[in-house]
A and B are shown apart, each in its own frame.
Chain A
Amino acid sequence: MPLGPARPGTQLPQAPPQAHEEAQREFALTLSGFTAQDKPQYEDYARCVHCGLCLNHCPTYRLLGREADSPRGRIRQMALVDQGRLELGDAFVTHIDRCLDCRACETACPSGVEYGKLVELARAQIEQKYRRPFASRVARNFVYRRLLPYPKRIAAAARFACFYQRSGLAAIARASGILRLLGLSEREALMPQIDREFFFSELGKTFPAQGTRRARVAFFAGCVAQVSFSELNRATIRVLQANGCEVVVPEGQVCCGALAAHAGVRDVARSLARTNIEAFRAADFDAILTNAAGCGSTLKEYGDLFPVDGAGADSSASRRTPAPKGEHEARSFSGRVRDVTEFLVESGLSFPLKPVPLRVTYQDSCHLLHGQKVREAPRKLIRAIPGVELVEMLHADQCCGSAGVYNVTETKTSLELLAQKMECAGQTKAQAIVTANPGCILQLRAGAAIHHTGQRVLHVIELLDRAL
């Protein structure tokens, strides 16, 4: 019924403004294909103005040339699902899964869309609302919920993998051609080489600074890195010590939760975050350092895992972990996190460097460049080493295809990106490809092996360590 103007003196019943907003929210939810918890928020995805500047920065768009596999297209799909105009089904999952989460689009975006956050939330929705095929469910459940959160299980799995690699089983498998038969030969090339000595034994130790102590820092050691990049971790500590840092490796630290968060398994990521915040709470560190760009990016964004009012924190997770930690605490933790290259450039190198005669090219790690916006720091460190010649490669800012577990879940796309990367790296005629993240190192090493480029792959820190 149309209402005429109110007669003077008549009071129209007024709903409290809050109730109105609530009703609107409730109404939107009845349409939305998303659940209320961990959903891409309207305020975030509506910042996209569809200009398309991100398209050619997106590795999957460049490769596949399809709008649905571009950042703009994926954001559109999220909006459509949220408005109830697109089913959260196979198509949606395919395109969201195919995203590398490299966040190159964030660097290109003039509107400041936080795409990484959006795609992680979209994946959290897929986790809640979509039933994946049986094998995928089992594998994801095992990796994200049963393996990565538990250091002891990682160690056990590593010992098993180590047996495979060193007992001659791997050689037999490769020679027999069974890997090729199973279509696993390329994936096997991606498998990390397991260390003889794990890094777990160093947890809880403190390493003194050489010379005058300039800073006291905490070192975040990672999860898989502790069984396959122990030497890199030790090199990191050596470089920091040489630079006058007292390095503490706090006990009780666990996986950063990046892989879980990227896959949409937010409850596990949150619980890991809580454990880490607790582990690094105690001491008065000048900074919390990591040598893994992927971890660093997640550690710096712990705040995003916890909604402002703590409402999104699910009960099951909070029961398992100590006291519920809010967004505030997460942000103060994140504020102290630095990538080790960033930290070294900020504090300045205080030790003399020996010459290392090597022609190198630098591959930007996506979560360092696009996630943390650190571009110059690793380059400055490389240039600081006498004898090192840095040759920039074409598209150094484009993802190598590693992207966490992407090279295992979307192997075909990943290998195509890797082939492009190796073409560009090979063009520089560099003897070594330098990067800043263990995941990229694995992928690039596999690339060098598959394409027989003969190039070595090093972390920036390993290069510095050689110059010590």
Chain B
Amino acid sequence: MSASASAVMSRLSEIVGDPHLAASAQELAGYAIGGMRPSAAVCPGSAQEVAELIRFAAVEKLGVVACGARTKLEIGLLPRKYDLALDVTRLDRIVAYDPDDLTLSVEPGIPLQKLSAALAERGQFLPLAVPFANRATIGGTIASAMDSPLRQAYGTARDFVLGMEFVTGDGTLAKSGGRVVKNVTGYDLHKLMIGAFGTLGVITKINFRTFPLPRETRAFVANFESPARALDLRERVSRSPLRPLTLEIFSPGVADLFYGSAAARDGMNPLAPNLLTNQAWAFTSGVAGTQEALDRCEAELRAMAEQARGERFSILRGDQVAAAFGRKREFVAIALESSPAATILKIGVLPSRMDEILPGIESAAASENLRCATMARGVGVIYAALLPDASSEEARECVARAVTLIQDACDKAGGDATIPWCPMAWKSAFKIWGGDGEGLSLMRKLKAVFDPQRILSPGRFVGGL
């Protein structure tokens, strides 16, 4: 900010009120992205205030980064300019909830935990079992398009966000979609906001369809000597009439993570011993339904696992399901804690071609002598965590070589690999948003329309958007 800094501050204070404006170094440190601090942080109390703030920022050309619980601010590049942190945690109301219609409207700052509790009272839930679930807000979850193990059964947020209200880069308070399950009017502009990392607008309200909570769950674990066999079981399950809630394949390296100290977090129950070992690939799947359905799932999963030549089958019930599910959900968080320079790739590929990538990740890590843990979702999303023991220059070079190998393997398999998490200082050395892809020119045009002044999270997303 220039000489008129005090003028800017007084205008900000005018909009949100003094108690909701932070300018002290100590407070601002909490909003730092990779050590970069904003000049001010504001906590607006309404969508109108957000719009007002953005209008002002557009005039003053202030770089604005919207945030909630700040669990995922490390994703993406450093902002080109970071003048204002727009903290939406005061916008934490459930605006409307109609359990009979399975619809819900919330403000972005509501913590997932609080929201889940409210929905659980009516026997419902949102299938968003995302990492950092004990702290994350719904807004950040949607803006970063975090996926969850439940996408196997329910899809991603794109499948159950019905509408949104958001403020575009020129301060317009806009609405898209509605709050009915079968809304077909207009363009689904709100879907653009999912995974845009706040570069197209600031979300001020999100409408969801909710789902009935599964009553009873069980989980099945089988071990395999190779990823190919575990994937063979995935293929068999996907062609069977079973509809599991979750389906993940874990590399041998995950056993150490899940039985390690990082996983003993947030009061999570300990995992039963010997479910996973660092010698085998593990296929894990959660199922839900009535007793009869669960019995059938259990018998059929076991029979299919036998056909795929699996070994050491386990059935998890009750608390054990929760313990395993919690670790699946928090895979990223656990991996980040277990290394000072954890580098996590998120790979999207056709499920049928995962077998071309999984062995490549292992061999790339092995060739650089890196610890590595991989979680492959049944739908074709792979999280590969490279876990160097130090954050040194040497480690960076090792990781960089491994990443290049993995990204090349992904290219060959027609997939795409981004790097959501790695030490901020390493980011410039990596293609953290993967290949440019053919969508980039369209994305540039969208950015120009939604945020003509380029003030919303400038430079953080792919292609410098």
Q: Is A93 in the interface zone, CB < 8 Å from B?
A: no
- The distance in angstroms between the C-alpha atoms of A424 and B306, with both chains bound, is 10
Tally of A-B residue pairs with Cβ under 8 A? 23
- The distance in angstroms between the C-alpha atoms of A62 and B300, with both chains bound, is 16
Which chain A residues border B241 with CB–CB below 8 Å?
Answer: 56-57, 108
Q: How far is the CB of B293 from chain A (nearest CB, A)?
A: 14
Q: Is A392 in the interface zone, CB < 8 Å from B?
A: yes
Q: How far is the CB of A14 from chain B (nearest CB, A)?
A: 36
Q: A392-B299, A394-B300 are in contact. Are A427 and B239 (CB under 8 A)?
A: no
Against A, the Cβ 8 Å flags (1 = close, 0 = not) of B38-65 are: 0000000000000000000000000000
Q: Is A231 in the interface zone, CB < 8 Å from B?
A: no
Complex contact A56–B240 (CB within 8 A)? yes
Complex contact A56–B300 (CB within 8 A)? no
Question: Which B residues between 158 and 190 are near A, CB-CB below 8 angstroms?
Answer: none
Question: Which B residues between 298 and 318 are near A, CB-CB below 8 angstroms?
Answer: 299-300, 303-304, 306-307
Q: Is A85 in the interface zone, CB < 8 Å from B?
A: no
Complex contact B303–A56 (CB within 8 A)? no
Complex contact A427–B307 (CB within 8 A)? yes
Complex contact A424–B239 (CB within 8 A)? no
Question: Which B residues between 236 and 250 are near A, CB-CB below 8 angstroms?
Answer: 239-241
Least CB separation from B239: chain A residue: A62
Q: How far is the CB of B7 from chain A (nearest CB, A)?
A: 59
Complex contact A394–B304 (CB within 8 A)? yes
Q: Is A395 in the interface zone, CB < 8 Å from B?
A: yes
Against B, the Cβ 8 Å flags (1 = close, 0 = not) of A99-114 are: 0000000001000000
- The secondary structure that dominates the A interface is helix
Q: Is A423 in the interface zone, CB < 8 Å from B?
A: yes
- The secondary structure that dominates the B interface is helix
- The distance in angstroms between the C-alpha atoms of A207 and B304, with both chains bound, is 47
Complex contact B240–A395 (CB within 8 A)? yes
- The distance in angstroms between the C-alpha atoms of A62 and B237, with both chains bound, is 11
Which chain B residues border A65 with CB–CB below 8 Å?
Answer: 239
Which chain A residues border B306 with CB–CB below 8 Å?
Answer: 427
Which chain A residues border B299 with CB–CB below 8 Å?
Answer: 392, 394
Complex contact B239–A423 (CB within 8 A)? no
Question: Which B residues between 270 and 323 are near A, CB-CB below 8 angstroms?
Answer: 299-300, 303-304, 306-307
- The distance in angstroms between the C-alpha atoms of A65 and B238, with both chains bound, is 11
Q: A392-B299, A394-B300 are in contact. Are A423 and B240 (CB under 8 A)?
A: no
Complex contact B303–A424 (CB within 8 A)? yes
Q: How far is the CB of A375 from chain B (nearest CB, A)?
A: 13
- The distance in angstroms between the C-alpha atoms of A365 and B352, with both chains bound, is 32
Q: How far is the CB of B309 from chain A (nearest CB, A)?
A: 12
Which chain B residues border A424 with CB–CB below 8 Å?
Answer: 303, 307
Question: Which B residues between 219 and 253 are near A, CB-CB below 8 angstroms?
Answer: 239-241
Which residue in A57, A62, A108, A427 is a CB contact (below 8 Å) of B303? A427
Which chain A residues border B240 with CB–CB below 8 Å?
Answer: 56, 62, 395
Which chain B residues border A56 with CB–CB below 8 Å?
Answer: 239-241
Q: How far is the CB of B349 from chain A (nearest CB, A)?
A: 17
- The distance in angstroms between the C-alpha atoms of A262 and B291, with both chains bound, is 38
Least CB separation from A54: chain B residue: B241
- The distance in angstroms between the C-alpha atoms of A241 and B304, with both chains bound, is 42
Question: Which A residues between 52 and 85 are near B, CB-CB below 8 angstroms?
Answer: 56-57, 62, 65
Q: How far is the CB of A233 from chain B (nearest CB, A)?
A: 35
Q: How far is the CB of A72 from chain B (nearest CB, A)?
A: 14
Least CB separation from B241: chain A residue: A56
Least CB separation from B304: chain A residue: A394
Q: How far is the CB of A69 from chain B (nearest CB, A)?
A: 13
Against B, the Cβ 8 Å flags (1 = close, 0 = not) of A361-394 are: 0000000000000000000000000000000111
Question: Which A residues between 413 and 438 are near B, CB-CB below 8 angstroms?
Answer: 423-424, 427
Q: How far is the CB of B290 from chain A (nearest CB, A)?
A: 16
Which chain B residues border A393 with CB–CB below 8 Å?
Answer: 303
Q: How far is the CB of A362 from chain B (nearest CB, A)?
A: 14
Least CB separation from B352: chain A residue: A65
- The distance in angstroms between the C-alpha atoms of A407 and B306, with both chains bound, is 28
Which chain B residues border A57 with CB–CB below 8 Å?
Answer: 241
- The distance in angstroms between the C-alpha atoms of A56 and B240, with both chains bound, is 6
Least CB separation from A108: chain B residue: B241
Which chain B residues border A394 with CB–CB below 8 Å?
Answer: 299-300, 303-304, 307
Q: How far is the CB of A100 from chain B (nearest CB, A)?
A: 16
23 contacts between A and B (CB under 8 A): A56-B239, A56-B240, A56-B241, A57-B241, A62-B239, A62-B240, A65-B239, A108-B241, A392-B299, A393-B303, A394-B299, A394-B300, A394-B303, A394-B304, A394-B307, A395-B240, A395-B300, A423-B307, A424-B303, A424-B307, A427-B303, A427-B306, A427-B307
9 additional A-B pairs beyond A56-B241, A427-B307, beta carbons within 8 Å, are: A62-B239, A62-B240, A108-B241, A394-B300, A394-B304, A394-B307, A395-B300, A423-B307, A424-B307
Of all A-B residue pairs in the complex, the 4 with the closest CB atoms, nearest first, are: A394-B303, A62-B239, A56-B241, A57-B241
Chain A residues within 8 Å of B, Cβ to Cβ: 56-57, 62, 65, 108, 392-395, 423-424, 427
Chain B residues within 8 Å of A, Cβ to Cβ: 239-241, 299-300, 303-304, 306-307
